[in-house]
Amino acid sequence: MSYERTDKEIVVPGEGIHLAAYTPSPYVPVNAIPEMEQEDAGVPLSHYLWVFKRHRWRIVAFVMASVLATAVVSSRITPIFESTATVDIDRQSPSAVVGQEAMRSPTAMDSDQFLATQIKLVQSDSVLRPVAQKFNLLALENTDREETERYPNAAQAPVFLKRLKVNRPGNTYLLLISYRSPEPQLAADVANAIAQSYLEHTYNIRYRASASLTSFMEKQLEELRAKMERSGAALVQFERELNVISPEEKTNILSSRLLQLNTEYTNAQADRVRKEAAFLSVRSGSIEAAQVSGQGEPLRRLTEKLNEGQERFSQVKAQYGAAHPEFRKAAAYLAEVQRQHDKTRNNIMQRVEIEYQESREREAMLQKAVQETKGEFDRLNTRSFEYQALKREAEADKKLYEELVRKIKEAGINASFQNSSIRIADPARPAIKPVFPNVKMNIALALVFSTLLAFGTAIVSDALDNTIRDPEQVSRTLKTEVVGSLPVVKSWRGRLGAVAQNSATTTALVALSNATGHADGYAEAIRTLRNSILLSDFDRRLRSLLVTSASPGEGKSTIAAHLAATHAQQHHKTLLIDGDLRRPSVHKRFGIPAATGLSNVLVGDMGWKDAVIKPEGIPDLDVLPAGPPSRRAADLIGRGLMELLEEAGPEYDLVILDAPPLLGFAEPLQMATAVDGVVVVTRAGETNRKAVAAVLGTLSRLRANVMGIILNQVHQEMSDSYYYYGHYGKYYRPSDARTT
């Protein structure tokens, strides 16, 4: 965004300074790139490639130095040899000869825990201390002396060998015991000694455990024997009190007898009820009851005879008279049958009563026997519980005693058994080649890590670089455009030379053309900068231009001088004003005197036309030097410069004003409001972005027309945007220069 100058003026209160007001105009630099207007545009990948290319020699040097240093250090390190002893752990082998341990097989689920326990056991102090003392390993590893000096009780601390490594290959029951040492034989001897110490330690652990168990069981054996004797004596005494050999058998006999008596008693009750019913029926006089009784058969026959006799007697009575012999015979027969019937009936009643009485007596006797037997069974059963308790206690004490005696015998046998489930499968042997240092591996790692470190350092340094470098960066971070980039000229050792050198007829372009190829590039860059500024505004003509910078030493005076010279070479009337009243330098560029100049014009000692000097060799260029330093002139620069530009505007095609640095000085602020356009000169790779941002912010608040930024002293390796600067020397050959 740029600003047009209007007819309005802004009066600064208290100063009497009239500042030209500007309104926005559609100024767009010719080299503006639309894609860079995006606020959040990221850094392209090509930029990182350029960073690597820029620092390629540093990266190569760092990588080569790192690789060489690694190779030298690796070759000077004492070689370390490693020997490994293989221990086989047979999980299927029993851990004892007799007893339950001999029959017990390990489960597959605890294999990992078991092997992890064995690894810790190999690294324990009890295993390592005898080996460390035998081979003096603590002194060899330089740990015993340091710990002894630091801690007085370090000798009693657990032994830890830094060069020892114990691991288990996957899906195996093997333990690899490795030890490293500068001496191959020592490494093998230590590995084998640790493996043997591990086997002996496991045997000692088991032997001590068995011996301790045996000692404990022997102490308990005497107490258990006494207890067994007491319980046995109590059982015998109880049997004597019961006067039986086995109360259990006696209880079984009583139980069977009680069951039999109970059955007979039940049957007797049923028989008594039956006979009682018969007795009651017979006593009631019922003939049918007597007939159905056990003795009713004779009575039934007599009853039939009685019925027949009565029937016959009735027939005889009806046929014969009472005096007839048949009548008396039938009557006598009927009387005899009646007598026999009554006699039989009485006998039956007596028998039924007798049987009833006998069943009652039998029932009572069986009831008494059942009650007596049940009482005896209850008494014996009650004592039987006590007997069972005494018997179980005696048997338990006897069984425990026998089991303890058996355990003692098994522990004694197993204690002297050296288990073969842990054995040395492959003893360690002296190594032929060292395992450390691995020179090839170290060099490869040094190459990889140094390369990554160099690339990372290059990227970080580029990211931390907060200086102005290229147009893309300016567009992305400062939201403004670069109107021109000027290459560095090596023959000037970082600073541009004078426009005219000791010759009054030598122009700026001639001086540049007679220099090196870098100067040719600089001259072409000056022409490009001139066209970029003057051709940027199509709506109006740019009449005045302010050249300033954020800080001193950016090259603004040199650029202003060369820009004015190239503009005058096109036969355009050009006025160059040195506005830096503190450190003037324009007169040095053209080799003109600085006795009078702008300071005299501002204080009113002379007119500006009288102070203008025409450099020889550039007819269309006028230069107004700064003149002698004057504090009063600096205070009057606002109004005086405005009037000077209004008067010089009609006479010159372009007025270029070289201003002091904007940060820290008041004059550039007033100058920026008086001109048609402002360009800010920055030194590529040195000027801080924050300083440039502060300058642009100040000019924006003053509504100054900022044309853009000029990057000074750029070179090909500063950014990937300057690759074309390397072709200037090749393009401008002497033959080509003569033909053009």
Sheet strand arrangement including 164-167: 164-167, 174-181, 81-89, 422-426
What is residue 503's predicted lDDT score, i.e. its pLDDT?
38
In angstroms, rounded to a whole number, what is the distance separating the alpha carbons of residues 383 and 368? 23
What is residue 735's predicted lDDT score, i.e. its pLDDT?
45
Under 8 Å CB-to-CB from 333, ≥6 apart: which residues? Answer: 309, 312, 313
**Domain spanning 476-714 has what CATH number?**
3.40.50.300
Angle between helices 325-415 and 247-283 (to 10 degrees): 160
Following DSSP, what letter does each residue of 132-187 receive, concatenated?
HHHHTHHHHTT-HHHHHHH-TTGGGSPP--TTEEEE--TTSSEEEEEEEESSHHHH
- Residue bearing tokens 């109970």: 262
646 sits in the region (left: phi over 0; alpha: psi -120 to 50; else beta) called: alpha
What is residue 22's predicted lDDT score, i.e. its pLDDT?
34
The rounded average pLDDT for each run of 10 residues, N- to C-terminus, in the chain (740 residues) is 38 34 34 37 71 85 93 89 90 60 59 87 91 86 57 68 90 91 92 92 80 75 80 76 59 75 84 77 61 61 76 76 76 79 76 81 84 76 72 82 78 62 88 87 92 90 78 78 79 46 38 47 83 73 88 88 91 90 85 85 86 88 87 76 88 91 84 90 86 89 89 71 52 44
pLDDT, one tens digit per residue, over 607-634 is 888 889 989 888 899 998 988 877 777 7
In angstroms, rounded to a whole number, what is the distance separating the alpha carbons of residues 403 and 406? 5
Is residue 544 classed as helix, strand or coil in its secondary structure?
strand
Q: Which secondary structure element, helix H or strand E, spans residue 714, and what is its range?
A: strand 706-714
Under 8 Å CB-to-CB from 250, ≥6 apart: which residues? Answer: 242, 244, 380
Q: How many CA atoms lie within 13 A of 158 on its CB side?
A: 8
In angstroms, rounded to a whole number, what is the distance separating the alpha carbons of residues 660 and 658? 7
Q: How far is CA 271 from the centre of its chain?
A: 95
Q: Which of 192, 197, 118 is nearest to 427 (CA)?
A: 192
Domain boundaries, the chain: 247-410, 476-714
Sign of CA dihedral 51, 57, 61, 64: positive
Q: What angle do CA 346, 347, 350 make, to 5 degrees?
A: 90
- Burial of 168 by CB count in 10 Å (0-12 exposed, 13-18 middle, 19+ buried)? middle
Contact 150, 207 (CB under 8 A): no
Pick the CATH number of 247-410 from 3.10.450, 2.20.130, 1.10.10, 1.10.287: 1.10.287
In angstroms, rounded to a whole number, what is the distance separating the alpha carbons of residues 416 and 406? 16
Under 8 Å CB-to-CB from 566, ≥6 apart: which residues? Answer: 508, 509, 523, 526, 527, 530
In angstroms, rounded to a whole number, what is the distance separating the alpha carbons of residues 392 and 250? 18
Give strand ranges (E) for 92-148: none
